[in-house]
Structure 1
């Protein structure tokens, strides 16, 4: 649910105020289903839960401005903004690729230096994980799954790849790539 919460809150924050179809439209135009396990149909359920938890509030659409029937529109409360930032910080340090992907999608909503620090923590944790994986015993004829050289090898390669990608991203941010919260131009 935290990935859905992060996506929905992020969409509304980017828009300022949005109705459910606007969030749905964002996620489908971003093709979020290809880089997360979020299904567009879960958006409306998430909107209801976020409102019930005080993370969003409903706004009445102005019939003078809107063409067609009025819709329930949502804005993010201060508590919702705090929740979004908490989820975003966690996502940017996550080992879970889909959660991390959502963090990358919204990283520009935090200050550059903070994002770099979060990514550096992720890189450090990935280095520790890779070092640990290299110490795991393997057997040519494994007596149990945890000793299978292919299984350990796949995880070691995955972690090394994640580390490489994270370090590359940190380098891009250090060189000024992308625009972040609080930056002009």
Structure 2
């Protein structure tokens, strides 16, 4: 996904690694994309070695050099391929950690299980609230961004429903 994100941003305009990182932070894309700063720089080097991007300019400030990259024609073809691949590949992810732990929850004390589930519920609610705040801070969301946020809220709610169901099950059935 990092490759697609980097190519997509460079298609919009020439950018440095730092500018890409800032865009992801300021637009709160990093909340759902989970792209680490190091992976941006790794992707830039790899994409450059594959001739999908190239250095447009290099600015020198003191001992630092800031390279600004542009997408190449070959990069635009790769970008289109990655979009098509991403849209056609199922991306449904099941919470396999929770499913597996649920199968073996009987090996823990009831209180331990409930504390762990409550902890995750709290974390999911916090992430939900952070996402709501991030959306509220956005001005003029595109239709695509609205779809993304709506889907994220659906996933939060589904996950909370599962966790609340587990909590009720444990409270009723575990001795």
State the TM-score bracket (shorter-chain normalisation).
0.3 to 0.5
Which structure has the highest helix share of the two? 2
Which of the two has higher C-alpha Rg? 2
